[in-house]
Amino acid sequence: MAERQLYGLAPRLDIQQILAEAQHRWLRPAEICEILRNYTKFQIAPEPPNRPTSGSLFLFDRKVLRYFRKDGHNWRKKKDGKTVKEAHEKLKVGSVDVLHCYYAHGEENEKFQRRSYWLLEQDLMHIVFVHYLEVKMQGLP
Residue 141, pLDDT > 80, answer no
Going by DSSP bridges, is the β-strand pair 87-93/96-105 parallel, antiparallel, or unpaired? antiparallel
Distance, CA of 76 to CA of 58 (rounded, Å): 21
pLDDT tier for residue 138 given thresholds of 50, 70 and 90: low
Distance, CA of 48 to CA of 58 (rounded, Å): 9
Question: Which amino acid would we find at residue 104?
Answer: A
> What is the CB neighbour count within 10 angstroms for residue 103?
17
* E strand or H helix that includes residue 92: strand 87-93
Could you tell me what percent of the chain has a pLDDT over 70?
A: 87
Residue 102, pLDDT > 90, answer yes
Q: What is the tens place of the pLDDT at every residue in 17-73? A: 888 999 999 999 999 999 999 999 999 999 999 999 999 999 999 999 999 999 999
pLDDT tier for residue 136 given thresholds of 50, 70 and 90: confident
